[in-house]
Amino acid sequence: MKKVYIIALLTISSLALSQEKNVSVEKSVFNIQTGFVGFWANNELKLAKSIVLRSEIGIEPIWLVGDGTVWHPNFRLEPRYYYNLEKRVEKGYPINNNSGNFFGIALNYRPDAVVFSNNKDLKTIESISFVPKWGIRRNFGNHFNYEAGFGFGFRHEFKYKNYGEFDIHLRIGYTF
């Protein structure tokens, strides 16, 4: 009888250890998202057990009081560290499609290009920004997700000055 208990204990502990090893971000996740302002397509590529590299292209507006609106492209690279995946699995919450809390460092490039404007004389300002941020990503259904995050960082406009930049986002999307 002792042998049966020992075998059962070893089996249960080996299953528990094997489940811990399987807690990881997805190999590759492709999304389209929209928020209050803008549209984005992105991919999260697994680099390590809890780290992804998010590459993203989007169209975002700039509102100029009295002059109109300019829609411009934004290119982003953002390494993300999903820090609570094991805790979510322990509590029985899903982690599919990288559902979890994350820390990221967003590197944005906004070229001097206009996609659409209601004033043909308006131009955009070429800039780069570096923004550490915190956020959450959750899924509902098999393919839908929402994401919220915020951060504060540094923005450099090539023709002008350097600024502080807030990055606050709330998006809903679809995962392929």
- Domain of residue 134 covers 2-175
Q: State pLDDT tens for residues 4-63.
A: 445 544 444 544 444 455 799 999 999 999 998 899 999 999 999 999 999 999 999 888
Q: HSE on the CB side for 153, CA within 13 Å?
A: 18
Kindly report whether the global pTM for this prediction surpasses the value 0.85. no
- SS3 state of residue 158: coil
Do residues 10 and 16 touch, judged by C-beta distance below 8 A?
no
Most confident range (mean pLDDT) of 14-23, 121-130, 160-169 is 160-169
Least confident of 83-92, 123-132, 149-158: 123-132
136 CA to centre of own chain: 8
Spatial CA neighbour of 36 closest among 176, 153, 168, 174? 168
**116: buried, middle or exposed (CB in 10 Å: 19+, 13-18, 0-12)?**
exposed
Where residue 94 sits, what CATH number does that domain have? 2.40.160.20
CB atoms within 10 A of CB 65: 5
pLDDT score for 106: 97
Q: How far apart are CA 90 and CA 128, in angstroms?
A: 40
Say if residue 111's pLDDT is above 70. yes
Report d(CA 41, CA 35) in Å as an integer.
12
Name the domain count of the chain.
1
